[in-house]
Chains A and B, each alone.
Chain A
């Protein structure tokens, strides 16, 4: 018989491992809450269909945008807070639609090959630097 004596948690090693992971996750969440203060300064929509294309916006269109992906149309929307979402997609599981509004991460629809990127730059006290 092979390794049938395996229990769920064997001792200290398992406890230290799981508690350590929880600690890392809370530190990561704290770092995330600090980083979401920045608003996106640029929006990039990339499609990876037969003819890949990239569309960039500094100010997104208020009526939203429809792009052709690998299997159909993807409808992208913005709100007044600078957040973006995929409102409609031709994909099967609609995972991209279920992600809802985001303001500091990309939304990727793998089946329809559409990527919505938010470019967030850290606030600087300088407008420009010249030499």
Chain B
């Protein structure tokens, strides 16, 4: 149950700040493959979609990229645009999969979001810089990273949902 609209806004604000913090912390961490990262901030976006609403998920995704970019010093730079496009497309795809495929588990929803995020980022890079990408190489690597990272994000979201199941901000 929602206690009040203020309560809902406070929860969304908390999710935005936590997601931004995760994105900032994740940014300088070493990666197995240089240009791909697990996207732990998506845990909070997926949580917002499952727990509050699709709009809340979009709000969390949008504002967390702005907050993180402000602190990372990349606001309105190409890096921010790439991050923003990835976050928004991941959220939209996760919302669509959640509502269209009722038999989809959290892992499928999360992996779909990870793939959408990667495709959107590659497209933005292509549009902005017109580079020649190795199509098959990117597809293979993208899927190998999207599947485990999607499962990790889904597992963390499931745990978060379970631990906050009795909290008084349910809708």
Query: Residues of A with Cβ closer than 8 Å to B?
Result: 1-4, 6-14, 17-18, 21-22, 24-26, 28-29, 31-32, 35-36, 46, 48, 93, 95-96, 98-99, 104-106, 108, 110-111, 113, 115, 117-119
- Whether A105 lies near B133 (C-beta < 8 A) is yes
Task: Give the chain A neighbours of B27 by CB distance below 8 A.
Answer: 93
Closest beta carbon of chain B to A103's beta carbon, Å: 10
Task: Give the chain A neighbours of B11 by CB distance below 8 A.
Answer: none
Interface CB pairs A-B, < 8 A, 8: A1-B171, A3-B50, A6-B106, A9-B105, A10-B103, A11-B103, A13-B104, A115-B131
Task: Give the chain A neighbours of B77 by CB distance below 8 A.
Answer: 111
Whether B134 sits at the interface, judged by CB under 8 Å, is yes
Question: Which interface residue of B106, B129, B151 has the most chain A CB atoms within 10 A?
Answer: B129
- Whether A18 lies near B132 (C-beta < 8 A) is no
Task: Give the chain A neighbours of B125 by CB distance below 8 A.
Answer: 108, 110
Interface residues of B in 99-144 (CB under 8 A from A): 101, 103-108, 111, 115, 125, 128-134, 136-140, 143-144
Task: Give the chain A neighbours of B35 by CB distance below 8 A.
Answer: 95, 99
- Whether B147 lies near A18 (C-beta < 8 A) is yes
